[in-house]
């Protein structure tokens, strides 16, 4: 119930509601045809005059990172942010389509073989990571079934390079689907996650879109 409540709050804050009567088939029809064999995120969020494009991007970045932290907690993992050398380019470009922000987290979860080692120079070494990338934004008309509090929207698809994915440096298999479902459950319902496994899997609201 807590997860559903948290997801409802996020939807209210972003002003986005995906129609509850929209079938999975209709959801699939409005999503982009995957052109890349890796995870990505697609979706929409409202564009309003009182929120700048940069703040809209920051809000999306916050949504992604909060969803990752909640999902990791539900998985029983301890994650810690790693320093990124190029955290954001929001200060160097005026083109929303070129906005980029990245976050990385180490995973401490001995039960799946993910270990964190802190070296003498305080450098953190982990064989398992969560990578969060927030690509650009572009003005886009929302499809039928996605209702915003305004008529304008920022859209993001696979070409914008949005993704949340697990990485195992030693090649071990990680529970990507289980983790991604939990991430998806903590994102607004206007955001969809794509996984390339099983000939392509879409997630929305923590569930597989059939």
Q: What is the pLDDT of residues 92-111, one digit of tens each?
A: 889 999 999 999 999 999 99
Q: How confident is the model at residue 183 (pLDDT cuts 50, 70, 90)?
A: very high
In terms of pLDDT, which residue wins out, 5 or 32? 32
Q: What is the pLDDT of residue 25?
A: 72
Nearest Cα to 190, choosing from 40, 41, 37, 34? 41
Residue 6 has pLDDT above 50, yes or no: no
Q: What is the pLDDT of residue 10?
A: 32
b/e sequence 20-39, b meaning 16+ C-beta within 10 Å: eebeeeebeeebeebeeeeb
Q: What is the pLDDT of residue 8?
A: 31
In terms of pLDDT, which residue wins out, 85 or 90? 90
Mean pLDDT along residues 107-131:
87
Q: How confident is the model at residue 14 (pLDDT cuts 50, 70, 90)?
A: very low
Q: What is the pLDDT of residue 148?
A: 60
Both structure tokens of 2: 């807590």
């Amino acid at each position: 119930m807590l997860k559903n409540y948290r997801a409802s709050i996020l939807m209210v804050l972003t002003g986005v509601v995906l129609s509850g009567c929209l079938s999975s088939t209709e959801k699939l029809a409005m999503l982009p045809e995957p052109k890349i064999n890796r995870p990505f995120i697609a979706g929409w969020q409202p564009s309003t005059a009182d929120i700048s494009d940069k703040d809209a991007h920051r809000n999306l970045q916050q949504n992604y990172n909060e969803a990752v932290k909640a999902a990791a907690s539900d998985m029983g993992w301890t994650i810690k942010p790693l320093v990124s050398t190029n955290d954001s380019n929001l200060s160097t470009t005026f083109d929303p389509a070129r906005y980029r922000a990245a976050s990385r987290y180490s995973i401490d979860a001995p039960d799946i073989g993910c270990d964190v080692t802190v070296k003498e120079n305080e450098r953190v070494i982990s064989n398992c990571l969560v990578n969060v990338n927030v690509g650009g934004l572009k003005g886009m008309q929302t499809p039928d079934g996605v209702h915003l509090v305004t008529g304008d929207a920022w859209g993001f698809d696979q070409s914008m390079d949005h993704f949340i994915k697990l990485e195992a440096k030693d090649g071990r298999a990680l529970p990507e689907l289980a983790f991604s479902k939990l991430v998806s459950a903590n994102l607004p319902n206007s955001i969809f996650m794509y996984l390339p496994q099983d000939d392509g899997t879409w997630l929305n609201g923590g569930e597989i879109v059939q």
